[in-house]
Amino acid sequence: MTQFQLTTEDILVKRRGRKPGSKNTKQKESVALFQDPKTGKTWSGRGRAPAWIGKNRERFRIAA
């Protein structure tokens, strides 16, 4: 380090992007669009569909 006149700041790797543990504030909360009448469980329509939804999703849609 002394031979090349480097400091610790020159050697440290600087990371880009967001800090670990910080939350992305741009994400919106999901609103439930479907509900299982037997159990009351809900699904927002995002991600993997639950087993109870089956093929006909319209019968589980929550009325707006």
- Whether residue 23 lies inside any domain: the answer is no
Q: Containing H/E element for 11?
A: helix 8-11
Higher pLDDT, 18 or 5: 5
List, in order, residues 6 or more apart from 14 with CB less than 8 Å away: none
pLDDT band at 8 (very low <50, low <70, confident <90, very high): confident
pLDDT-derived band of residue 6, with 50, 70 and 90 as boundaries?
A: confident
pLDDT of residue 61: 94
Number of domains in the chain: 1
Q: Is residue 19 part of a domain?
A: no
* Residue 22 domain flag: no
Show the tokens assigned to 23: 């939350």
Residue 9 belongs to some domain of the structure:
no
Domain coverage including residue 54: 30-64
The reply to whether 60 falls in a domain is yes
Tally: H helices and E strands in the chain = 1, 2
Tens digits of residue pLDDT in 9-64: 887 776 666 666 666 666 678 899 999 999 999 999 999 999 999 898 999 999 87
**What's the pTM value of the predicted model, to 2 decimals?**
0.55
63 belongs to a structural domain: yes
